[in-house]
Structure 1
Amino acid sequence: MRLVEYVPACCQRYFKYSAIMVTALAGALLFVYLFGPMIYDIKGLAFKISTLPSIQGKTIMEIPPFGSIGANTHQMPFELRVRIEYIGTSLASNILDYSGNQPALLKHLRENIFQVACLYILRQALVGFLGASLLVLAIWRTRLRTTLLYGLVPAIIVTGILLTGVKTYSIAAFDELEYNGVISLAPSIIATPGELIDRLEEMQENTRLVVGNMQALVDNVDRLSFLGSPEKDPSILQVLLISDLHSNPVGIEFIKGLANSFEVDLIIDAGDLTDFGSPLETKVTEGLNQLEVPYVFCPGNHDTPEIATYITSLKN
């Protein structure tokens, strides 16, 4: 380039090499920005990963249209952006397949994340190499061998930065999240797991109180003598009809309370005891084994053959 002619002769060589290297780095960064992002899919979760230069090493997870969450996760000057593109129903099924086997689930996730990380770093290196080589060739008209060498240096730099970022990456950083958008209301709306457990226990206790109050109400309504004490007439078969529990954690407790309070002779479940029919959801229905009356189950469209088999195995 003519710009080199204005540099003192003693420095022209070093200036040219430096200028070509700056050109190569610019080409690499430009191509990484334009062509580096890629969409990946892990068992029904599709997300787009991209990298941007940044003073702080951060990870930003975009969850449109709710906003984004971020954390200072690594020690290299780039920002890793992960944008959720699609969440399929198969994701829940795949997670539920590992119910009761958390180590296997974690191992499976690590393997998938490792594969995605390797593919992403390889893509950035190739894109950076291509961008650096093309820009150097277009501006400086260098020989092919020289062009490839100048393209290789930025590719190595990009790879080194990303690998160092992976090495210094801290999952614990997500304990201190930064919220942007409407999702910033989540901490004040969504309870913590501990609070959810406390509320569940409170709901179960209140369910027992509601059932007891229902029995007291019926017993004291003189006009409803048939309902007030139907158990006194042995010729009457009392049937409790239920349906659509959908893995409600207090549903089984409610059924047990009604069955005991009204001394029913038979329980008929019209189906949809669960949401996905997964092995994990059988844990929610284990309380049915404590019922002392016959339990007739008619599977719904949400109940799988595995759920029906489990119900059949119960003593009642």
Structure 2
Amino acid sequence: MKRLLHRLFNRRTARWSSLVLIGVAGALAGLLLGGRIQTPVGPADASLSFSLSQDGGTVVDVPPLGSLRLDSHSGPVTLKAQISQLRPAATEKFINDPSAIDALAETITDQIRHGLVWMAVRGALTAFALAFVVALLVYRAWRPALAALTAAAVTLAAFGTAAWLTFRPASVAEPRYTGLLANAPQLVGDVQTVVQRFDEYRGMLAKLVGNVSELYATTSTLPIYEPDPSTLRVLHVSDIHLNPIAWDVIRSITTQFKVEVIIDSGDLTDHGSRAEDRFADNIETLGDVPYVFVRGNHDSPGTQKAVAKNKNAVVLDDETKTVEGLRIYGAGDPRFTPDKTTSDDSLTPEALYAAGVQLATPLRAAPEPPHVAVIHDGNQAKAFDGATPLVLAGHSHRRATELLPQGTRLFVQGSTGGAGLRSLEHETPTKVELSLLYFNRETGGLQAWDDFTLGGLGEQSVQVELHLRPTPPTSASPTSPPASPTATPSASPPTSTPVAP
């Protein structure tokens, strides 16, 4: 009798243990599967999700810059948040209603609160359903299934209670940054001040979102261009400096003007770090349009490799390739100077010019010289005078063009990323600049170009200027300079290439 009771006890214990296990597993699986949603946050969409963790807390991912972690609560569940995309239609509607910016802060708060509640409800319902169905399949009876559902409910209640009891509002004053966001405290100031003046900073955040949205929406006002079949359209960009807004501008102009080649003359990133490599993944979002890239002084060899991984990327480093019928030579910047403490930054303009002469010499003897050379620094680019009809550069964040003594046109692009975070260092925002170059398909000669100038952060202006060469070239040969020796004006007055940061 005693042995029989012992067996019954063991069997009942195993039964209840299995039901509890099913309930706990269902609760965890339900949170992971059902506890993830896309929710609107102003004119953007945010991804919210739960994940398992020993420490709990909240993680805000900011690709490709890094992440921000708050010790907001303890427990086995971590809340993750990430801005996934900016919605063009909502952005345009937002921009057209100036009064919307005033209500944006409160709107964002309500939307996030609603998203969190809905995510928790979805996760709980998924957990209950999984626990009930699994127990029903195993025991084929509704009572064990209800017991497993109860175990899942108790588990979720325990998770919620633990988070509630350990909730630390002051954690916002002690965030931990990883990746490039390690510099965030220097950018936003003393975090204790942020906490004390939260309402004011929330309003500033809303204004910042509005400014970004305005800049994003400006390209929708650009005119539609009807392409000439005999003309090759090449978009010249430079010095994006990790500004994600640049991709929206490039994508809009590429689509509306039927761009066939994009040339980037360097400084895609700011520090050339591994964390920034993910920023280069945006190149593939431009579709099948070839993206020709040369390394800038802020781009590392790792940056160059990250760009090369994109299917539509054409990386040039002291070589010539034919892209859409256009022979393009490119070479990366000889320096890597992510900051001013780098010894390579001591290279003088004269030293850069001498390095350019060594690169340009073989091109002069080539049976087919390139139609275009792409060099990051204008000081080095000047050494290609006579080796190619056109040389594209960047680096200075000031657009300019000049006709060099031997007939080569030097075209220095401004910053397509508005100089990145540097745009916040001055009272006047750095403008977003890029140019559409029109080449003759047969000769590869430059015929004209459009300069696009978009107002910097917080401005809505869009300016397009058309420039024509005095005499369109009849040959790609650099021995036939244009008839006029004068420089063509651009959106910025032509100047000698200044030393850039």
- Distance of aligned partners of 1:129 and 1:174 in 2 relative to their CA distance in 1, 3 Å threshold: same
Instruction: Deviation per CA, 1:251-307: give whole Å up to 9, x if none.
Output: 5xxxxxxxxxxxxxxxxxxx98886579xxxxxxxxxxxxxxxxxxxxx559xxxxx
Larger helix percent: 1
The answer for the alignment partner of 1:180 in structure 2 is 178
C-alpha distance in 2, partners of 1:29/1:9?
30
Shift of residue 186, structure 1, vs aligned partner: 3.5
Match of 1:192?
189
Match of 2:182, SS state, is helix
C-alpha displacement at 1:106, in angstroms? 4.4
Q: What is the letter of the counterpart of residue 9 of structure 2?
A: C
Kept in 2, the 8 Å contact 1:27–1:134? The answer is no
* Identity fraction in percent: 19
Note the alpha carbon deviations across 1:183-204, whole angstroms, 9 max, x for none: 224345x35289xxxxxxxxxx
Change (3 A) 1:177 1:88: farther
Q: Which residue of 1 aligns with 2:367?
A: none
C-alpha change, 1:164 and 1:109, in structure 2 (3 Å) is: farther
Tell me which amino acid in the other structure corresponds to 1:29: L
Correspondence for 2:156: 158
Alpha carbons of structure 1 residues 250 and 36: separation in structure 2 relative to 1, 3 Å: closer
Conserved? CA contact 1:47–1:84, under 8 Å: yes
The amino acid across from 1:53 in the alignment is: L
Aligned length: 202
Alignment pair present for 1:79 and 2:84? no
In 2, are the aligned partners of 1:60 and 1:71 still within 8 Å (CA)? yes
Query: Take 1:74 and 1:145, find their aligned partners in 2: how far apart are those partners?
Result: 35
1:98-133 CA distance string (max 9 Å, x none): 55x5xx554433322221121011011101111212
1:69 to 1:272, Cα distance in 2 relative to 1, 3 A: closer
| Runs (5+) with no aligned partner, structure 1 | 195-245, 252-270, 279-299, 303-316
AA of the residue aligned to 2:144: T
Relative to 1, partners in 2 of residues 1:28 and 1:77: Cα closer, same or farther, differing over 3 Å? Answer: closer
- Residues 72 and 173, structure 1, Cα contact 8 Å, conserved in 2: yes
Other structure's SS at 2:134 match: helix
Kindly report the root-mean-square deviation, in angstroms, between the aligned alpha carbons of the 2 structures.
3.9
Q: Which has the higher contact order (CA 8 A, sep 6+)?
A: 1
- Secondary structure of 2:170's match? helix
Deviates more, 1:40-49 or 1:156-165: 156-165
- Indicate conservation of the 8 Å contact 2:39/2:47, yes or no: yes
SS of the equivalent of 2:73 reads: coil
Alignment of 1:1-316 (within 5 A): 8-88=7-87, 93=94, 97=99, 101=102, 105-138=104-137, 140-159=138-157, 161-162=159-160, 165=163, 169-188=167-186, 190=187, 192=189, 250=427, 301=462
C-alpha separation in 2, matches of 1:167 and 1:97: 39
Contact 1:126–1:155, Cα closer than 8 Å, also in 2: no
SS class of match (1:47): strand
Q: Would you say the 8 A contact 1:24–1:150 is kept in 2?
A: yes
Aligned equivalents of 1:164, 1:44: Cα separation in 2: 34
Secondary structure of the residue aligned to 1:38 is: strand
Runs of at least 5 residues in structure 2 that lack an aligned partner in the other structure: 194-422, 429-452, 464-501
CA gap 1:145/1:112 in 2 versus in 1, 3 angstroms: same
1:91/1:33 Cα in 2 relative to 1: closer, same or farther (>3 Å)? same
Q: For residue 60 of structure 1, report the CA deviation from its aligned partner.
A: 0.7
Partners of 1:56 and 1:276 in 2: CA distance: 39
Whole-angstrom CA distance in 1 between matches of 2:7 and 2:181:
58
Classify 1:79/1:72 alpha carbon distance in 2 versus 1 (closer, same or farther; 3 Å): same
Q: Which residue of 2 aligns with 1:281?
A: none
Which residue identity does 1:57 align to in structure 2?
G
C-alpha distance in 2 between matches for 1:134 and 1:185: 49
For 1:183 and 1:249, the matched residues in 2 are separated by 21
Match of 2:325 in 1: none
Change (3 A) 1:131 1:96: farther
SS in structure 2 at match of 1:73: coil
CA distance in 2, matches of 1:66, 1:154: 38
TM-score, length-scaled by structure 2 = 0.34
- Specify which structure has the higher proportion of strand: 2
Deviations 1:45-87 (A, max 9, x none): 2222222232323101111222211010013332111122124
| CA distance, structure 2, for counterparts of residue 149 and residue 25 of structure 1 | 11
- The 1-side partners of 2:43 and 2:36 are apart by 19
CA distance in 1, matches of 2:458, 2:122: 37
Q: Is the 8 A contact 1:121 1:159 kept in 2?
A: no
Q: Distance in 1 between matches of 2:53 and 2:424?
A: 46
**Who wins on radius of gyration, i.e. which is larger?**
1
- The letter of the residue matching 1:157 is T
Cα distance in 2 for residues equivalent to 1:153 and 1:272: 58
* 1:153-189 CA-partner distances (Å, limit 9, x unpaired): 313531552365357544431221112223224345x
CA 180–29 in structure 1, closer or farther in 2 if over 3 Å, else same: same
